């Protein structure tokens, strides 16, 4: 649930900071992100850290996958369907990938939002969005990049790409956010920054 007013607080913060029109999208859960980056496990944790906790987590994950496999095979019996349990990859790149800084900021946020403008990108944490905005903490900027340091953003595919080749495919919170994004995109990957096709756009 996203309480009315949460998005508007993020928009106000970035419009004041950047002096540009902004598009703000509520990001989805970070717990399901998949990583393909040397030094990181598939779930994004750093290799070599929290070994005992990771051992028990792997045991529990293995039991869960096994149970899921049994249930899936039972439900797909006779249908000829194939099921894959491989984690979907959202973050790719070399060791120390540039994408890791914003992704880690996203993972630590309790109420993450992506804000983008013609020259900037940011991740903002509002805290739980079920709280009444009137009593919620002030939105907190946890990561920011401005042109020319900002990564290349492709909103239609929801991807960010950095000069070192690393990339992040960001998840959205729900269908409301997906519809909001689609409504701001035009032909040839243009973005209607002010929500009006006649108000100006740029590749996104």
The torsion angles phi and psi of 25, rounded to 5 degrees, stand at -130, 135
Cα separation of 153 and 161, whole Å? Answer: 7
State the pLDDT at residue 145: 97
State the pLDDT at residue 51: 52
Q: What is the pTM of this model?
A: 0.78
Q: What is the separation, in whole angstroms, between the first and last Cα of the chain?
A: 28
Expressed in percent and rounded to 5, the helix, strand and coil fractions of the chain are: 30, 25, 50
The torsion angles phi and psi of 144, rounded to 5 degrees, stand at -150, 140
**Tens digits of per-residue pLDDT, 14-60?**
999 999 999 999 999 999 999 999 999 999 999 986 554 544 544 45
Question: What tokens does 96 get?
Answer: 């120390």
Nearest to 177 by CA among 114, 125, 131, 121: 114
The string of DSSP letters for 118-161 reads: SSEEEEEE-S-TTS-TTTSPPPEEEEEEETTTSPEEETTTTEEE
- Answer whether 139's CB lies under 8 Å from 125's CB: yes
Residue the block writes with tokens 């990561």: 143
- Count the neighbouring beta carbons within 10 Å of the beta carbon of residue 186: 12
State the pLDDT at residue 188: 82
Distances (CA, A) of 55 to 43, 63, 102: 13, 13, 27
The CA angle 6-116-163, to the nearest 5 degrees, is 140
State the pLDDT at residue 84: 47
> Which regions in the chain score pLDDT beneath 70?
49-86, 196-204
């Amino acid at each position: 649930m996203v309480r009315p007013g949460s998005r508007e607080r993020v928009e106000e913060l970035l419009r004041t900071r950047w002096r540009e029109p902004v598009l703000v999208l509520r990001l989805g859960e970070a717990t399901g992100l998949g990583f393909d980056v040397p030094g990181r496990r598939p779930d994004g944790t750093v290799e070599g850290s929290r070994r005992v906790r990771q051992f028990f987590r792997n045991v529990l994950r293995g039991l869960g996958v096994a149970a899921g496999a049994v249930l899936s095979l039972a439900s797909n019996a006779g249908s000829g369907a194939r099921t894959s349990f491989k984690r979907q990859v959202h973050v790719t790149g070399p060791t120390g990938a540039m994408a890791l800084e914003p992704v880690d900021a996203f993972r630590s946020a309790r109420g993450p939002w992506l804000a983008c403008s013609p020259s900037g990108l940011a991740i903002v944490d509002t805290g739980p969005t079920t709280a009444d905005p009137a009593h919620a903490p002030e939105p907190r900027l946890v990561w920011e990049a401005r042109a020319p340091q900002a990564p290349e953003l492709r909103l239609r595919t929801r991807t960010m790409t950095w000069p070192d080749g690393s990339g992040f495919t960001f998840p959205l919170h729900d269908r409301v956010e997906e519809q909001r994004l689609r409504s701001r995109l035009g032909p040839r990957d243009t973005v209607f920054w002010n929500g009006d096709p006649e108000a100006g756009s740029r590749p996104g």
